[in-house]
Structure 1
């Protein structure tokens, strides 16, 4: 089970863009390094990765991070900026069944924590049922009126 869903919400005078990435125990895709290697000749993926690395990570080495997280979080931030939202929220909704592999879920948690830790330049352990933020991440060349980024994680036990 995988997929992404984006919603807009308003509370008082604040606009939220909320992206939900649904997972069971499948990984967050290949790493940035693997995505670069799988690049086709006419693709602009190399330029896209370089731009995101510079804007989000200030040129920190992101080769070991999962490309699906990079793409999803960048998309959430860009949509929030496009909508002039105050907040961008990226939530991982994890479903757990009797068939789910706990080791794969632990690997996903580690990958998500590595991504966030690299972004904020400190060790992060995002627990189920928690929300982390606000994180100020410039989107594009402007640093004014940028949405604040939050990360969330939810686990649902499915019987």
Structure 2
């Protein structure tokens, strides 16, 4: 074997190693995710629009939704104040309705950037989905829950739409409120739920910084993974969709970005910012083989 042949062999080995580090192959099959994969420590920019074939629908309780009036009537937001121009609930509804039967382009781009999800054959989106992840309290409320199918099998996507609204209470605030409820009602299970979530996400509540994580990010993730388990889906995606308008305050959006990045670092060891148009993963959790987190942005 000549010198050039040796160099070619060494280059091929380096190329294989580089592909392995990047995680799953970009053919929708997730073949390169080992049983104990700890997470791809990078965020990838979504650069190519996905063609989803116009194969989806938006529905609630068996009723297909095609107008803003139908969405508001059958899937109203928990807070009526969010149903107005420039705020998350109404702008999110408008975006999905305008895109159907395609996915919103930012969502489709993120799925393509996973390298693990192929062109969708079909999808169904449920707005204001109440998704159980345990038997210890109220279900999580997801702005949009998507059940989809590509050439490999089912995929579950949980979407949280934000203008500049926060991710809610911190872990510490939620725990204190749960302890107060337990003191007045021995049947309250909020404290138990917090302990179960901490175990699920392998969090030490006494560790510095953990108490400041946003509780909603844990329940959003837990609910998406739980639904993936119910649908026998090995792949799940959690997406934060920023809907930017003149009403959104930049400092509140910056806070949300810090909270998401802090959550991903504390729970999954992912370092670096996940900016709009970027995807992080795959990560492993019990019940799902490949879990991704993405962020997209739409100017409302």
Q: TM-score, normalised by structure 2?
A: 0.48
State the 1:106 CA deviation: 0.5
Partner residue in 2 for 1:157: 299
Aligned residues: 152
In the alignment, structure 2 segments of 5+ residues that lack a partner are 1-87, 90-141
2:189 counterpart of 1:47 = no
Quick one: higher RCO (CA 8 Å, sep 6+), 1 or 2?
Answer: 1
2:273 counterpart of 1:134 = no
State the 1:7 CA deviation: 0.9
- 2: CA distance, partners of 1:27 / 1:18: 20
Partner residue in 2 for 1:11: 150
In structure 2, relative to structure 1, the CA distance for the partners of 1:120 and 1:7 (3 Å cut) is same
Q: Deviation per CA, 1:46-92, whole angstroms, max 9, x where unpaired? A: 11111121121253643110011111111111111111101111000
RMSD: 1.5
2:259 counterpart of 1:111 = yes
Q: Secondary structure at the match of 2:211?
A: coil
2:142 counterpart of 1:24 = no
- 2: CA distance, partners of 1:72 / 1:66: 10
Q: TM-score, normalised by structure 1?
A: 0.89
Larger radius of gyration: 2
Contact 1:76 1:88 in 2 (8 A): yes
* Range with bigger deviation, 119-128 or 62-71: 119-128
State the 1:134 CA deviation: 0.6
In the alignment, structure 1 segments of 5+ residues that lack a partner are 140-145
Instruction: Indicate the structure with greater strand content.
Output: 1
- 2: CA distance, partners of 1:122 / 1:132: 8
State the 1:14 CA deviation: 2.5
Q: Secondary structure at the match of 1:38?
A: helix
